A and B are shown apart, each in its own frame.
Chain A
Amino acid sequence: MSSSLAANGDMLVILRHAPHGSSWLREGLDAALVAAAFGQRVSLLFQGDGIMALVPGQEPGALGQKGTAATLDMLAMYDIESFYADASALDRFDMAPDDLQLPSLPVDGATIAQLIASHRLVLTF
Chain B
Amino acid sequence: MAGRRNGLAVLVEALRTWLVPYRYGLERWSYTLQRISGVVITLYFVAHIVETGYVVGGPSVWTIRPDAQQYAERVWTETIKFLSNPLFDAGLAIIGFFVAFHTINGIRLFLAHFGWGLGRPTRPEPMHRPQSMSPTQRALFWASIAFAVFALVYTTNAFFGVLA
Do the two shown chains form a genuine complex with each other?
no
